[in-house]
């Protein structure tokens, strides 16, 4: 038996070695190339020991099989034996798998599309400033991808693992919440591989900007769209078709005659391809724009698209082309139909179609838009009309009861009826654009159209996404980030389920002016630009686009999130010279203990956000979420004065009880923006900080606390002051007095902090010494 | 099982154990007075003023004073409390205090042992509902109560959905008066 197992293992290793071309010695292959579910489990369990899962069940029941429904309240188990904690972890894993699959399948579709155009052997070249082209694929798989075909190897690995993980969600499988968490962390890690493969393919295949920081500023807001022209709206995440539309317009010299605008991540992708494309706004503006009727043709691709797009389009006489098999809406598949016949039926009969051939879909969209646009009315309501319509509202508050963001919409409408637009404009900033209020209104008040009038036609600028952080930038900032003199990297990412849209620009402003590096992606990258200062400038116009202290960097769409986490890996690999190949634990340990990076998903709503965040967590990056995100059911929280803050000092090879909760949490929900500000600064603190770096970080923590939380010092400040030299100069007197009062005692900083050596692992302590 | 729907539909309960509806201030005071180690957790919604100009926070402080109840301030609530001359017994954010409360061995804010009744007042409704769900499932050692103007099914005891703020304020004033009587 043992002999048979050895042979099987050897064969598996042999196949794996072939896949990752292990014989090419660009780096030695580490302990976990292409890891299976159990391979990094020990690391997960170490994380989960300090950052224990905190469950907030969104539902008391399990409804997944015909044994149920099973009530799991107050210690009850389901018919299969599952308890409420394990059920929450199982649902979180399912969410992560949906998110991971969405990105990886997007990547796979794009790869297939681009391989058809350019061939499998198309070289990956991200420009002269990027040599570590795929930090996740190199770290997780141990493969250095050189061609588009190599990216397929990465995605095939992801799909294989996703299959195993999904299997574990079946009834009568995993019985441990912690093991489900380890699996969710595995799915999160895979997600970053899938995102990276997808975005590298896009950069290479579509010739997106790369190795450049100063990408163009593009127009944003529905007011930026010239509604006198035929307008095509691209919606979703996958640019396979929107790029074809631009090609078609270029080839037919129609660029000046047709507007192309995007909503959600396809907007960001499209502006990476052409700076003449416009950004309507984030996901929360999708239904507003559909109902405005400005778009003549709506092209949907995948993820975060309204599932009622054809119905909404029909209401305003717009046409729909569903471009991907992920969402075909029950429409007739016209992929094999003649383009002119599709156009005829769309124009004459008002039909919508699914067209899965990107070039044909592009041709049809342009032709239909040009034919139907002159016949369509695209007028906003006049203010006087809006006031009259608002008078129908009797403030019954039905709208408020169904609002997921808990907005008092009726109050705004009744004010509008009196001619006051400002309250509704404020509500518009809090609106997540779901439309449930309008559906519920017994008097059929057209709430969206009224909000649109209140919001006006303001336009903004957003910087086009730039893809990976350059190796040259990593070399410059590696030392100041790990020493703490650049106080942190704040990645503000994800969807637009914000408590208030303005929060994001406020966060960017606060941290950029304090010389943190601020990185943005997805809908957050858009809304960061949707607020102007007194001089009429957005944060993209005020701050440099470089990955440096005080820089504001838009990496791109959802899949570009992999470049943010990839930058953290690059710091370990390029700056600290730690080998990354098949060496995930060492990379994650380095990031957790030495790279002061924090993710902020203030408007997270999707399963993709769950998997991105969970992937950040496995890599040692804490994530701050908005208040509604308790509905994700699970956080990773420590109990700062009671948990295990023991690390190994790798140089002395000694265990050290630091008592320092840095970073304090891995997945944390903040109640308000005011609370989030000091929390984000605190989560940048790392045990590796030099006294100078720690003093800078504490300076920001204290000053943000005073600014947003009221007078006094943070209650937990003493936990982060190791020696007097850590105390920021400006607060020296106040902090010393406070520390003396509570009996604080100094302690030695740890020379080279690491978790390696504090839990069972294949990795030796020497592996973390650089 | 209560037939009351929560004010915000995102908080609709899907299980079978839901809060006891408390409509009488004397009954509410009775639950509080019976508790050995009650705790009042207050959130940033209390920083809003009512029509009469009184801050909701002032009701919370009066209530804590009348019942001799320690206060945990979440988010930025502490700053205003200090302005009003009251120091909270502890400062945690909503998920942090819930995380501590679910540990039966936690020593509580006065280091006298974990609390047996926790009142929530002024936490955003969706976050509050999720926190109450955590305690319902994982903290059988304590009871929860909400003092907000809406029904929260995950609590042990909840007020009803008040259509008018004035009625809610009346309830809070009666509750404070009952606690003062008891004290």
pLDDT at A418 over 90: yes
pLDDT at B1: 43
Q: Is B123 touching A (CB cutoff 8 A)?
A: yes
Domain spans, chain B: 19-182
Q: Is A679 touching B (CB cutoff 8 A)?
A: yes
The alpha-helical segments, DSSP class H, found in A571-720 are 584-594, 607-618, 673-683, 691-709
Give residue-wise pLDDT tens across range B111-144: 999 999 999 999 999 999 999 999 999 999 999 9
Instruction: Return d(Cα A673, Cα B166) in angstroms, integer.
Output: 29
pLDDT at A102 over 60: yes
* Whole-structure pTM value: 0.96
Give residue-wise pLDDT tens across range A656-677: 999 999 999 999 999 999 999 9
Whether B133 sits inside 8 A of A668 (CB atoms) is no
Instruction: Return d(Cα B92, Cα A641) in angstroms, integer.
Output: 13
Give residue-wise pLDDT tens across range B63-85: 999 999 999 999 999 999 999 99
Q: Is B25 touching A (CB cutoff 8 A)?
A: no
Fold (CATH) for A222-375? Rossmann fold (3.40.50)
pLDDT at A122: 98
pLDDT at A245: 98
pLDDT at A196: 98
Tokens of A551: 């820089």
CATH number of A465-768: 3.40.50.2030
Q: Is A57 touching B (CB cutoff 8 A)?
A: yes
Residue of B76, B151, B154 to mutate when probing chain A, most A C-beta within 10 A: B76
Q: Is B67 touching A (CB cutoff 8 A)?
A: no
pLDDT at A155 over 60: yes
ipTM above 0.85, yes or no: yes
Instruction: Return d(Cα B91, Cα B42) in angstroms, integer.
Output: 10
pLDDT at A241: 94
pLDDT at B49: 81
pLDDT at A205 over 70: yes
Sign of the Cα torsion A683, A304, A234, A148 reads: positive
Give residue-wise pLDDT tens across range A233-284: 999 999 999 999 999 999 999 999 999 999 999 999 999 999 999 999 999 9
Whether A631 sits inside 8 A of B10 (CB atoms) is yes
Q: What is the mean pLDDT of chain A?
A: 96
Q: How far is B124 from chain A (nearest CA, A)?
A: 8
Non-local CB neighbours of A565 within 8 Å, separated by 6+ positions:
A136, A192, A615, A616, A619, A621
Instruction: Return d(Cα B145, Cα A756) in angstroms, integer.
Output: 44
pLDDT at A7: 63
Domain spans, chain A: 21-206, 222-375, 383-455, 465-768
Q: How far is B68 from chain A (nearest CA, A)?
A: 23
Count CB atoms within 10 A of the CB of residue A295. Answer: 31
Instruction: Return d(Cα A122, Cα A207) in angstroms, integer.
Output: 12
pLDDT at B10: 80
Diameter over CA atoms, chain B: 43
pLDDT at A3: 54
Domains A21-206 and A465-768 share a fold: no
Whether A630 sits inside 8 A of B74 (CB atoms) is no
- In chain A, whose CA is at the least distance from the CA of B138? A74
A539 — pLDDT class (breaks 50, 70, 90): very high
Instruction: Return d(Cα A128, Cα A471) in angstroms, integer.
Output: 9
Q: Is the peptide bond before A288 cis (omega within 30 degrees of 0)?
A: no
Q: A527: part of which helix (H) or strand (E)?
A: helix A522-527
Instruction: Return d(Cα A751, Cα A746) in angstroms, integer.
Output: 16
pLDDT at A8: 67
pLDDT at A158: 98
pLDDT at A412: 95
pLDDT at A597: 98
- In chain A, whose CA is at the least distance from the CA of B80? A710
Q: Assign domain B19-182 to a CATH class.
A: alpha beta
- The secondary structure of A464-493 as a DSSP string is PP--SPPHHHHHHHHHHHHHTSS--EEEE-
Tokens of B4: 């009351």
pLDDT at A482 over 70: yes
pLDDT at A1: 42
Tokens 């489900």: give the residue: A180
Q: Assign domain A21-206 to a CATH class.
A: mainly alpha
A157 — pLDDT class (breaks 50, 70, 90): very high
Tokens of A456: 């006006």
A window 475-514, beta carbon within 8 A of B: none
B51 — pLDDT class (breaks 50, 70, 90): confident
Q: Is A401 touching B (CB cutoff 8 A)?
A: yes
pLDDT at A210: 95
Considering CB atoms only, which of A635, A639, A710 is closest to B78? A710
Residues of A in contact with B95 (CB under 8 A): 54, 630, 635, 637, 668-669
Whether B95 sits inside 8 A of A60 (CB atoms) is no
């Amino acid at each position: 038996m043992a002999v048979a197992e050895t042979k099987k293992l050897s064969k598996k290793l042999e196949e794996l070695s072939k896949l990752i071309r292990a014989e090419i010695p660009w780096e030695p292959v580490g302990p976990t190339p292409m890891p299976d579910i159990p391979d990094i489990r020990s690391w997960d369990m170490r994380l989960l020991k300090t950052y224990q899962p905190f469950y907030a069940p969104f539902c008391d029941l399990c409804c997944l099989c015909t044994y149920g429904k099973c009530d799991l309240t107050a210690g009850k188990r389901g018919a299969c034996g599952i308890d409420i904690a394990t059920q929450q972890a199982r649902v979180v894993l399912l969410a992560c798998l949906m998110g991971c699959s969405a990105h990886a399948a997007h990547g796979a579709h794009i790869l297939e599309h681009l391989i058809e155009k350019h061939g499998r052997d198309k070289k990956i070249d991200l420009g002269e400033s990027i040599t570590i082209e795929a930090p996740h694929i190199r770290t997780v798989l141990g493969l250095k991808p050189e061609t588009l075909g190599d990216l397929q190897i990465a995605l095939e690995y992801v799909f294989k693992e996703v299959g195993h993980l999904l299997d574990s969600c079946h009834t009568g499988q995993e019985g441990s919440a912690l093991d489900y968490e380890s699996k969710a962390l595995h799915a999160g890690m895979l997600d970053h591989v899938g995102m990276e493969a997808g975005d590298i393919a896009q950069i290479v295949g579509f010739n997106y900007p790369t190795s450049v920081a100063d990408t163009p500023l593009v127009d944003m807001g529905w007011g930026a769209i010239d509604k006198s022209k035929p307008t095509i709206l691209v919606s979703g995440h996958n640019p396979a078709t929107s790029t074809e539309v631009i090609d078609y317009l270029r080839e037919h010299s129609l660029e000046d005659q047709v507007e192309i605008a995007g909503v959600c991540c396809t907007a960001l992708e499209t502006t990476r391809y052409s700076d003449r494309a416009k950004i309507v706004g984030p996901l929360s503006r999708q239904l507003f724009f559909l109902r405005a009727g400005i778009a003549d043709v709506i092209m949907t691709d995948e993820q975060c698209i309204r599932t009622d797009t054809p119905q909404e389009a029909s209401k305003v006489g717009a046409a729909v082309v569903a471009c991907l098999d992920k969402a075909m809406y029950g429409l007739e598949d016209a992929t094999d139909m003649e383009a002119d016949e599709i156009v005829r039926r769309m124009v004459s009969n008002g039909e919508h179609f699914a067209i899965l051939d990107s070039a044909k879909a592009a041709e049809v969209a342009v032709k239909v838009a040009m034919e139907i646009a002159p016949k369509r009315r695209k007028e906003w309501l006049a203010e006087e009309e809006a006031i009259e319509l608002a008078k129908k509202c009797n403030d019954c508050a039905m709208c408020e009861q169904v609002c997921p963001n808990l907005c008092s919409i009726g109050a705004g409408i009744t004010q509008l009826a009196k001619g006051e637009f400002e309250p509704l404009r404020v509500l518009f900033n809090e609106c997540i654009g779901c439309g449930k209020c309008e559906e519920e209104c017994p008097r059929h008040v057209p709430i969206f159209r009224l909000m649109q009038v209140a919001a006006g036609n303001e336009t903004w600028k957003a910087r086009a996404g730039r893809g990976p952080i350059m190796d040259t930038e990593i070399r410059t900032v590696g030392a100041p980030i790990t020493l703490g003199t650049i106080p942190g990297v704040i990645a503000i990412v994800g969807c637009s389920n914000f408590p208030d849209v303005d929060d994001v620009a406020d966060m960017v402003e606060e941290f950029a002016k304090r010389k943190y590096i601020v990185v943005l992606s997805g809908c957050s990258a858009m809304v960061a630009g949707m607020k102007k200062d007194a001089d009429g400038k957005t944060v993209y116009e005020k701050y440099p686009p470089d990955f440096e202290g005080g820089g504001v960097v838009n990496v791109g769409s959802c899949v570009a999130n992999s470049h943010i986490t990839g930058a953290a890996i690059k710091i370990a690999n390029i700056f600290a010279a730690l080998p990354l190949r098949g060496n995930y634990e060492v990379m994650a340990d380095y990031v957790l203990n030495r790279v002061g990076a924090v993710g902020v998903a203030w408007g997270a709503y999707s399963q993709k956000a769950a998997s991105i965040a969970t992937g950040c967590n496995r890599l040692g990056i804490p994530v701050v979420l908005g208040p509604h995100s308790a509905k994700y059911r699970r956080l990773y929280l420590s109990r700062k004065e009671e948990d295990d803050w023991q690390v190994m000092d790798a140089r002395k090879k000694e265990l050290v009880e630091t008592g320092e909760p840095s970073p304090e949490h891995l997945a944390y929900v903040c109640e308000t923006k005011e609370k989030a500000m000091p929390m984000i600064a605190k989560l940048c603190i790392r045990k590796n900080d030099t006294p100078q770096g720690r003093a800078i970080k504490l300076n920001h923590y204290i000053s943000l606390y005073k600014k947003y939380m009221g007078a006094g010092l943070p209650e937990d400040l003493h936990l982060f002051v190791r020696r007097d030299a850590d105390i920021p100069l400006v607060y020296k007197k106040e902090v010393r007095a406070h520390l003396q009062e509570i009996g604080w005692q100094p302690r030695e900083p740890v020379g080279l902090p690491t978790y390696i050596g504090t839990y069972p692992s294949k990795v030796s302590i020497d592996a973390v010494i650089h | 099982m209560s037939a009351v729907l929560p004010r915000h539909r995102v908080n609709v309960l899907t299980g079978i154990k839901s809060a006891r509806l408390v409509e009488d201030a004397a009954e509410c005071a009775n639950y509080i007075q019976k508790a050995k180690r009650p705790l009042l957790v207050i959130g940033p919604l209390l920083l809003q003023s009512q029509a009469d100009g009184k801050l909701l926070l002032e009701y919370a402080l009066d209530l804590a004073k009348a019942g001799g109840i320690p206060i945990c301030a979440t988010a930025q609530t502490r700053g205003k409390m200090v302005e009003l001359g009251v120091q909270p017994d502890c400062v945690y954010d909503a998920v942090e205090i819930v995380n501590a409360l679910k540990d039966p061995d936690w020593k509580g804010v006065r280091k006298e042992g974990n609390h047996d009744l926790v009142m929530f007042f002024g936490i955003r409704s969706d976050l509050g509902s999720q926190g109450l769900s955590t305690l319902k499932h994982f903290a059988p050692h304590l009871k929860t109560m909400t003092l907000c103007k809406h029904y929260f099914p995950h609590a042990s005891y909840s007020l009803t959905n008040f259509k008018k703020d004035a009625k809610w304020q009346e309830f809070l004033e009666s509750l404070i008066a009952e606690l003062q009587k008891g004290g």
